[in-house]
Amino acid sequence: MYSQGLIGANTQAEETQEFLDAFQARIDAEEKIEPNDPMPEAYRRTLVRMISQHAHSEIVGMLPEGNWITRAPSLRRKVALLAKVQDEGGHGLYLYSAAETLGVSREQLTEDLLSGKAKYSSIFNYPTPTWADIGAIGWLVDGAAIMNQVPLCRCSYGPYARAMVRVCKEESFHQRQGYELMKSLTEGTPEQKDLAQDALNRWWWPSIMMFGPSDTDSLHSDQSMAWKIKRFSNDELRQSFIDATVPQAELIGLTLPDPDLKWNPDKNKGKGGYDFGPIDWDEFWRVVKGHGMMNKDRLAARKKAWDDGAWVREAAVAHAKKHANEAAEAA
Ligand code: 3HC
């Protein structure tokens, strides 16, 4: 998607006040920043952190669902799940390419993931013991991802913004397949409805934690919003997600596991919104710091995939060298 020739492009500039003001003026004028443009080092680092974490989340996110492909209950469900998991792999690839345009190598990004230095979304450290988890992930996790990612289509960094357009279209299909799966379960036997309710009970709180710490504890939001990387704060997006999801749960006869959930007509500057109960931030940070139920398994699976794929990378490099030599000889 992006020319590897851009890697290492000279985007360094002396960060005088004049340079920083001119950069901010471009941002304020809604200009897109492109890979070869001069940019403050902190802007570049923020994007590498965020885009690579996003890429890691996509490829780690393939694992909890991939585990159900062989056990999907019908051909239709299997095909949809296979397509979804494949999409997530594609999203990872766009995003790694977008991160590479900032002068960081894929190898370095992978090393940071496997060593535990780089984060990936907390949500993928929860297990998927039942088929209903596949519905809950599509509906809630992809639903939360869309809420967070549609504004990223307007991110100030061009390659990230453009990658997000296709990603969001595909996430929208993922959300619908998940919701439709949950709806089918709620229309089935009492046991199937119980499965759907149980999955919702387990995925609701982790899904609303996906938006990150509350605004008062968010380290990066203010600067990322000033640079128009983020367009809304973590709490604003979390509130929008809750307000959109409560009626969806009601429509299919499921109960959200939050006794404090209550419509508040005064919220959202008088437009109304749901009050909700306290989020267990201790659980969130435990999972983010590597102590969730599945953290170790997820990283072990990614390490195995990277090690098993070494021969493919070596073969690709040998093939590219062979063609480069042939081209040089012909010239
Ligand atoms: N899981 C793990 N770490 C998280 C997190 C989460 N859900 N939410 C926040 N954090 C981390 C941050 O990365 C940061 O740590 P760092 O300084 O070491 O990087 C710390 O907690 C403080 O959080 P901030 O609010 O200050 O961080 P950000 O301003 O970066 O906001 C974010 C966090 C909202 C996740 C933002 O980075 C973002 O919008 N990222 C792009 C989208 C993304 O990565 N989504 C992940 C899910 S993708 C997905 O779900 C795949 C799909 O197929 C379903």
Residue 212 and residue 288 in contact, taking contact as beta carbons nearer than 8 Å: no
101 CB less than 6 Å from ligand 1? no
Q: Is the pLDDT of residue 243 over 70?
A: yes
Per DSSP, the residues of 276-288 read -----HHHHHHII
* Alpha carbon of residue 265 to chain centroid: 31
**Of 18, 25, 21, 15, residue with least CA distance to 45:** 15
Q: Is the pLDDT of residue 6 over 70?
A: no
Q: Is the pLDDT of residue 86 over 90?
A: yes
69 Cα to the center of ligand 1, angstroms: 27
214 CB less than 6 Å from ligand 1? no
What pLDDT score does 8 carry? Answer: 42
What pLDDT score does 14 carry? Answer: 83
Amino acid at 116: G
Overall average pLDDT of the 199-217 stretch: 98
Residue nearest to ligand 1 atom 54, measured at CA: 142
Q: Is the pLDDT of residue 1 over 80?
A: no
What stretches of 4-40 show up as alpha helix (H) in DSSP? 17-28
**Averaged confidence pLDDT in the chain:** 95
Q: Is the pLDDT of residue 12 over 90?
A: no
What pLDDT score does 9 carry? Answer: 46
57 CB less than 6 Å from ligand 1? yes
Overall average pLDDT of the 161-189 stretch: 96
98 CB less than 6 Å from ligand 1? no
% of the chain with per-residue pLDDT over 90: 94
Q: Which tens digit of pLDDT belongs to each residue from 25-59?
A: 999 999 999 999 999 999 999 999 999 999 999 99
Overall average pLDDT of the 264-279 stretch: 95
Q: Using CB atoms within 10 Å of the CB of residue 78, give its burial: 0 to 12 exposed, 13 to 18 middle, 19+ buried.
A: middle
What pLDDT score does 331 carry? Answer: 85
Q: Which tens digit of pLDDT belongs to each residue from 293-313?
A: 999 999 999 999 999 999 999
Predicted structure pTM score: 0.94
Q: Which tens digit of pLDDT belongs to each residue from 111-134?
A: 999 999 999 999 999 999 999 999
Residue 157 and residue 32 in contact, taking contact as beta carbons nearer than 8 Å: yes
